[in-house]
Structure 1
Amino acid sequence: MSTRPSRKHDAVLHLVPRIGDFITPGTPIVRVAGARPPRPRRIALAFDVGVDRTMHQDLGFGFRQLVDIAIRALSPAVNDPTTAVQSIDRIHQLLAMLVHESFGDLCFRDRAGAVRLVEPVPDWRCVVDLAFTEIRLCGAGHPQVTRRLAASLDDLLRIAPEHRRTRLIEQRVLLDRAVAENLSDPRARTFALVPDRQGIG
């Protein structure tokens, strides 16, 4: 996306879809703020719309692929919780790298320093939900998976700043609840929630 049309017209473009969203002809692409908005064709020509999502600019896509590998491995046809645990290893690593990073809309400036394009990005809550929700739902009956999830969440809670802890705590509570719903034996539930970086190892 080029900022040239907005700079020429002294306008600010607010991207409506997030990077990675599916759009169809007629989907609103930008909201324009400014006294002299560029012609729609000028705005459209400044965008590069691809067919497939990529990890180059799309924060959620890498997580999406890892989650897909995990839930595919947990399907009854495959039944490979070890592969799911390996996906959780990478998810844990990525979240640990992001836990201290700032989130929020990205602002692109022109050469004079004026904001010309505002791009929405997923916030911390969205990323954490994407990382854990589907794996928790599919893996609640697999102690190898639940123990690895517990270890990931507990470790992230140790390193997360206070404002990042709330959603991690909520995911930990949801994990406890999912295990309780899937395992009726109290001893099995206790075992399934012991944090273990190897799952069972």
Structure 2
Amino acid sequence: MPQNTPRLILASSSRYRRELLARLRLPFEAISPDVDETPRPGEAPEALALRLSVAKAMAVAATRPGRIVIGSDQVATMDGRPIGKPGDFARAQAQLRALSGQTVEFHSALAVTDGQRVEKADVVTRCRFRTLSAQAIDTYLRAEEPYDTAGSAKAESLGIALMESIQSDDPTAIIGLPLIALTRMLAGFGLDPLEAPGAGA
């Protein structure tokens, strides 16, 4: 491995995950994994998220030996049923009407591997949605256009205004990358952000 090659890889094309990982001030590169995300028959949403996070990490690790790779995936559920990405305005509108006043669980799954050993975690965030008027829903959707987001709620921006409360052990989990869990897992691979050379620089 060339001396200036980052030891760490984020197996994701998500801008939000890149921005979150950058908070740890560890050099990294981002590579989009080629993984089939189709659920298996009868697969629970949280099991799907964990499986995909491992698959993404391992897919990239197979092409980058000697590197530490992070994979992540997130699913939203209500009463154990998956809530998908709406795709367009009408579906997002219907989705937010159904979520108004309800509690949604976001499972933010995480996997870290060196190509041999794999550590994984599922960090759960419980979001209680406000009782939303039709006007509030339309105003939000026209401002945010969150059609590629499960639950139609981008908590990292205006979507936070949809919430009555958020409960989690890891405040960045809702955005897609649980940094508290990730820091603990990276330390297990000898990559602690507070001990790494140049950390905080």
Query: TM-score normalised by the shorter chain: which range applies?
Result: under 0.3
Structure possessing the higher radius of gyration over alpha carbons:
1
Q: Which protein is richer in helix relative to its size?
A: 1
| TM-score normalised per structure 1 | 0.28
